[in-house]
Amino acid sequence: MSRTVSFEGARRAMKTWMGASLVLACVLTLAACDHATDGIDGPFLVDRFGEFTLVEPLSAVQGEVDFAGGQTLAFEAAFNKQSNWVIEITGQESGAVKRIEGFSREIDDLVATWNGSTSVLPFFRAEPVEAKLLIDGAVLDESPPVTVEVTSARVYPGEEVTGFEEDDPATLVLGNFEFEFDLTATGPSSEIPAAEGESFYLLRSTGGPTVADPFFIGLTSIFPAADGPDYFSVPTTIPEDLFFNAALYSFGTPNTIAVVQVGVDSNGNGVYNDGIDAVVSVIDQPVDWQGWQLFSIPFSDTNFTQEQLETIVAVRVLLISDNNGQPNPPLPVDYGIDFITFTAGGPLEL
């Protein structure tokens, strides 16, 4: 029902309205004072412009670690500002180096946990390691190095062909043209720290006044253990998923070519028959760097079928002299190889 109210009625209504307006103003005031004030606007000024100060020096949460047993090692440190930090862990015997990097104000198990892996070959062994803290690329003197005893090295995934250790069950056979090898050096060696374990396999040609001239210096064949299965064990037979991994060492010797081949049992007799069984070179590579380097090759790069990959019967390691580049008389050539493995799903991760 509509009606026209009197002026007095309207006035009373307006008074009520005015009171309501005042109440509304108070409510608005309270409501409008609720803001998101957590956090800050922009980057921390201390991070942008502050002088770096070490709050807590680097420390390891435990004095020894058993990587093979599944343990990990966490590091801790704290600074006054977010910083680019690096923890550099060095094996005292192997020379292996692991770098853990980050940008944060604190180092804890969330950002700095070591599982025994390495950044630069060789792999760590059971050995004492020393961890140093670097800030913006420079060693922080206020944070002394931390020493931790590694009681067992990390066990890497995949199937190992050979690590060239003394107790390695794989059978090594020095192949043709071994007279071009320097037989005093060629073979399992610890001339330099191995990529994994105590020893690696060194291939070196003759040197001195009578230098090996041929293009093909020689080869070493690796077969499954005599008392074991006929074929090497592989984690998968799908070519796209199966990777061949090997660490090669370069002494910086010029004109050196490394070839690594994988042979499969084409005739099905359980042994490798040269000239009969199919062979593919998975590595064919000039050795022209310095130190250890890991090579990982998927078998999808080869023409091996899934069935053939069930019968890998040999791995052959060849030393080649690049005669096109050799002076006259030619110089000796050499390289090392270690830790040959098969992995599934991807390359071997250091």
Which residues sit at the interface with another protein, rule CB under 8 A? 1-5, 7, 9-11, 13-15, 17-18, 21-22, 25, 28-29, 31-37, 39-46, 48-51
Rank residues 30 and 138 by Cβ distance to another protein and give the closer one. 30
Rounded to whole angstroms, how far apart are CA atoms 223 and 212? Answer: 27
Q: What are phi and psi of 45, to 5 degrees?
A: -65, -35
Minimum CB separation of residue 80 from another protein in Å reads 8
Rounded to whole angstroms, how far apart are CA atoms 205 and 244? Answer: 26
C-alpha count within 13 angstroms, C-beta hemisphere, residue 108: 5
Minimum CB separation of residue 280 from another protein in Å reads 44
Rounded to whole angstroms, how far apart are CA atoms 200 and 190? Answer: 6
Rounded to whole angstroms, how far apart are CA atoms 310 and 300? Answer: 14
Burial of 55 (0-12, 13-18, 19+ CB in 10 A): exposed
Rank residues 28 and 173 by Cβ distance to another protein and give the closer one. 28
Q: Which of 249, 263, 244 is nearest to 173 (CA)?
A: 263
Instruction: Give the pairing type, strands 138-139 and 159-162.
Output: unpaired
What residue has token string 């042979």?
Answer: 263
Rank residues 41 and 141 by Cβ distance to another protein and give the closer one. 41
List of residues 6+ apart from 16 with CB closer than 8 A: none
Rank residues 21 and 62 by Cβ distance to another protein and give the closer one. 21
> Please, what's the largest Cα pairwise distance for the chain?
128
Rank residues 35 and 328 by Cβ distance to another protein and give the closer one. 35
For 268, the token pair is 């099905």
- In DSSP terms, 264 is beta-bridged to 312
Minimum CB separation of residue 83 from another protein in Å reads 14
Q: Using an 8 Å Cβ cutoff, are 274 and 316 in contact? A: no
Minimum CB separation of residue 135 from another protein in Å reads 17
Rank residues 35 and 184 by Cβ distance to another protein and give the closer one. 35
CA distances in angstroms from 233 to 155, 224, 228, 316, listed in the order given: 17, 9, 10, 16
Rank residues 5 and 225 by Cβ distance to another protein and give the closer one. 5
Rank residues 42 and 327 by Cβ distance to another protein and give the closer one. 42
